[in-house]
């Protein structure tokens, strides 16, 4: 069965949404310039009660662009960001593009070895960090070990108090000395130029970079806007809206769904370094935030408030949950308290991360991820032969085409050959499509774990566990976690004569080897681990055993 228009999902679209609405592809400097032209003096970002207008953001980005050029960085080179949520992020982000550079967004959750891999793999030799305790020391270590040639440090105290900022270390370049110089001429970027090397898990266990172009990211915004044309959904945002920005900007969900979408729409971002229940409630009740994109762990924390029903959520017009499945009972309680139906859907780093969305008037069904957004085509293909398209209600792998889909992984020709078949990107997710065009996710072809909205890859944890001198064999699976949705559980066999290995001892061993989001929640010592007929450790059998035990 070949997909042809009209696609089955078009009849299920909310009123006013058209699949064939024009999808605009441009550049990120163009996105900012258009926003400044429309919203110049309006606030774009609020951080520690200080407002930054669209015009000021553009002015500071131009100074950053001049600073990058003054350091000798040329068009097409790569700069790495190791930042929490701070105004330095959007300023440097747009400044880098105005200088014609590519950006790598590093996660503060990553272990130093993973950060070093991403620096080396991407070719980034310039690292941007801030003087936040903990992160600054890691950035210094990357510089000292030769993974970067230069370190630029943003002074957190420049954005007001309270600030935990440390002194800028010797050998680093303070932001106040970095920004500025001669105006940078237009680098002549186009939609097909790579904007971000956005890392996601690899089949070998090492992260690989999805190349997200300027056209991918701007198309994703346009596709979300086209979905917002509905007269029956509160998904649209614009001037006067205040968007809570607690999702980390290094993650594609926040990068597209918060930063780029808010800026392109004229909304104000209430930028926060991290999620805090009290601060978030203040942003809603006192600062009258209207939009709150979150992840399940945030909603679980709010749902646990003893006085939830007494709080004032009247300013919210849209609340979303993404990154991982949300427990139904949490969604029901939040909707009852806020009056907002928590929007849901599906996407991935490789799709910038737009994919499918669930209309707000559609009842939740197990596994439902929604309808393809306008301009996107999704289909189900055979797990054995990805060239074979399957019919309605047949289970297979989700394949996708659209202007928001990455052109491939950076420096990974063999993986690109596996990921793309006949122009379709194979997502690795197993699901089906019903007769009305709604898609469902039923399993993961890969063994990825989603913990608190972050992707966790068993092979990376296994590699770190195997470094323990007493471990003979190791396998990692995902297990249910009441707070994070999923967490990693480690199964090991010990070498002959080894001392007892406790969970606390393993955590201490892994502290500098895995990220916080990757830290296992449980350890089980076994005499042997199940294997496949060809001798490989069987994660599937362990998962089946764990499900049976829980049941």
Please, which residues bridge with residue 490 across strands? 476, 523
Percent of the chain with pLDDT over 90: 75
- Angle between helix 28-39 and helix 54-70 axes, rounded to 10 deg: 150
Query: Under a CB-based contact definition with an 8 Å cutoff, are residues 79 and 87 in contact?
Result: no
pLDDT at 108 over 70: yes
The full length of the chain comes to 551
SS3 of 185-227: the string is: CCCCCCCCCEEEEEEECCCCCCCEEEEEEHHHHHHHHHHHHHH
Q: Which CATH class is domain 449-550?
A: alpha beta
Mean of pLDDT values over 453-462 = 83
pLDDT at 85 over 90: yes
Average pLDDT of the residues of the chain: 92
| Model confidence pLDDT, tens digit, residues 114-133 | 999 999 999 999 999 999 99
pLDDT at 366 over 90: no
Give me the CATH topology for the region 57-189.
Rossmann fold (3.40.50)
pLDDT at 536 over 80: no
pLDDT at 135 over 80: yes
Mean of pLDDT values over 11-33 = 96
Mode of pairing for the β-strands spanning 396-401 and 368-372: unpaired
pLDDT at 232 over 90: no
Residues 12, 13, 18: CA angle, nearest 5 degrees = 135
From-to residues of CATH 3.40.50.980 in the chain = 57-189
| Model confidence pLDDT, tens digit, residues 43-68 | 999 999 999 999 999 999 999 999 99
Taking the C-alpha atoms of residue 462 and residue 366, their distance in angstroms, rounded to an integer, is 31
From residue 325, how far is each of 359, 453, 517, 543 by CA, in Å? 16, 9, 16, 18
- Angle between helix 88-98 and helix 54-70 axes, rounded to 10 deg: 60
Query: Under a CB-based contact definition with an 8 Å cutoff, are residues 93 and 198 in contact?
Result: no
From residue 385, how far is each of 286, 311, 389, 390, 416 by CA, in Å? 55, 53, 9, 10, 17
pLDDT grade, residue 2 (50/70/90)? low
pLDDT of residue 533: 53
| Model confidence pLDDT, tens digit, residues 142-199 | 999 999 999 999 999 999 988 999 999 999 999 999 999 999 999 999 999 999 999 9
Mean of pLDDT values over 370-383 = 96
Taking the C-alpha atoms of residue 292 and residue 258, their distance in angstroms, rounded to an integer, is 9
Mean of pLDDT values over 514-530 = 93
Half-sphere exposure of 53 (CA within 13 A, CB side): 10
Chain CA centroid to CA 33, Å: 25
Taking the C-alpha atoms of residue 413 and residue 210, their distance in angstroms, rounded to an integer, is 12
Which of 367, 370, 315 is closest to 340 using CA atoms? Answer: 315
The 10 Å Cβ neighbour count of residue 25 is 19
pLDDT of residue 130: 97
pLDDT at 396 over 60: yes
Query: Under a CB-based contact definition with an 8 Å cutoff, are residues 172 and 131 in contact?
Result: no
Percent of the chain with pLDDT over 70: 97
Mean of pLDDT values over 189-216 = 90
pLDDT higher at 550 or 375: 375
E strands present in 248-385? 268-271, 291-294, 318-321, 345-346, 356-357, 368-372, 377-381
- Whole-angstrom distance between the N-terminal and C-terminal Cα of the chain? 39
Query: Under a CB-based contact definition with an 8 Å cutoff, are residues 326 and 378 in contact?
Result: no
pLDDT of residue 468: 93
From-to residues of CATH 3.30.300.30 in the chain = 449-550
| Model confidence pLDDT, tens digit, residues 293-330 | 998 888 888 988 989 999 999 999 999 888 776 767 78
pLDDT grade, residue 534 (50/70/90)? low
SS3 of 43-100: the string is: EEEEECCEEEEHHHHHHHHHHHHHHHHHCCCCCCCEEEEECCCCCHHHHHHHHHHHCC
């Amino acid at each position: 069965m070949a997909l042809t228009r009209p696609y089955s999902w078009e009849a299920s679209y909310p009123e006013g949404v058209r699949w064939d609405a024009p999808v605009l592809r441009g550049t990120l400097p163009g996105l900012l310039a258009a926003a400044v032209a429309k919203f110049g003096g309006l606030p774009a970002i609020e951080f520690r009660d200080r407002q930054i207008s669209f015009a000021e953001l553009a002015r500071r980005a131009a100074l950053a662009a001049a600073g990058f050029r003054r350091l000798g960085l040329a068009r097409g080179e790569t700069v790495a960001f190791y930042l929490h949520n701070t105004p330095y992020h959007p300023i440097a982000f747009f400044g880098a593009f105005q200088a014609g550079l590519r950006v790598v967004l590093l996660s503060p959750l990553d272990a130093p070895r993973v950060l070093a891999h991403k620096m080396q793999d991407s070719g980034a030799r310039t690292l941007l960090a801030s003087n936040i305790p903990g992160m600054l020391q890691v950035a210094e270590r990357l510089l000292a070990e030769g993974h970067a040639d230069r370190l630029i440090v943003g002074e957190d105290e420049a954005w007001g108090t309270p600030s935990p900022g440390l002194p800028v270390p010797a050998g680093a370049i303070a932001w106040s000395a970095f920004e500025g110089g001669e105006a940078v001429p237009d680098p002549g970027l186009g939609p097909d130029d790579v904007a971000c090397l956005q890392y996601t898990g690899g089949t070998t266990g090492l992260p690989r970079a999805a190349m997200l172009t300027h056209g991918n990211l701007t198309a994703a915004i346009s596709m979300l806007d086209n979905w917002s044309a509905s007269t029956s959904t509160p998904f649209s945002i614009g001037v006067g809206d205040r968007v809570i920005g607690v999702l980390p900007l290094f993650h594609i969900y926040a990068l597209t769904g918060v930063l780029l979408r808010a800026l392109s729409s004229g909304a104000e971002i209430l930028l926060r370094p991290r999620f805090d229940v009290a601060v978030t409630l203040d942003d809603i009740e006192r600062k009258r935030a209207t939009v709150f994109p979150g992840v399940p762990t945030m909603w679980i924390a709010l749902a646990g408030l003893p006085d939830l029903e007494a709080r004032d959520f009247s300013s919210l017009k849209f609340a979303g949950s993404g990154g991982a499945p949300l427990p139904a009972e949490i969604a029901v309680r939040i909707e009852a308290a806020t009056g907002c139906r928590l929007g849901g859907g599906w996407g991935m780093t490789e799709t910038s991360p737009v994919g499918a969305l669930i209309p707000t008037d559609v009842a939740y069904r197990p596994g439902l991820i929604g309808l393809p957004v306008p301009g996107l085509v999704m289909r189900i293909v055979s797990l054995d032969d990805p060239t074979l398209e399957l019919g309605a209600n047949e289970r297979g792998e989700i394949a996708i085409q659209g202007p928001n889909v990455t052109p491939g992984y950076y420096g990974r020709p063999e993986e690109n050959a596996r990921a793309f078949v006949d122009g379709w990107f194979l997502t690795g997710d197993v699901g089906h499509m019903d007769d009305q065009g709604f898609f469902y996710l039923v399993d993961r072809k890969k063994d990825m774990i989603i913990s608190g909205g972050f992707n966790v890859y068993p092979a990376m944890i296994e590699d770190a566990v195997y470094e323990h001198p007493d471990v003979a064999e190791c396998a990692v699976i995902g297990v249910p976690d009441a707070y994070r949705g999923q967490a990693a559980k480690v199964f090991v066999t010990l070498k002959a004569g080894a001392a007892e290995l406790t969970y606390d001892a393993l955590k201490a061993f892994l502290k500098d080897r895995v990220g916080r989001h990757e830290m296992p929640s449980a350890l089980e010592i076994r005499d042997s681990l199940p294997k496949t007929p060809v001798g490989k450790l069987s994660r599937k059998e362990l998962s089946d055993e764990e499900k049976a035990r829980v049941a």
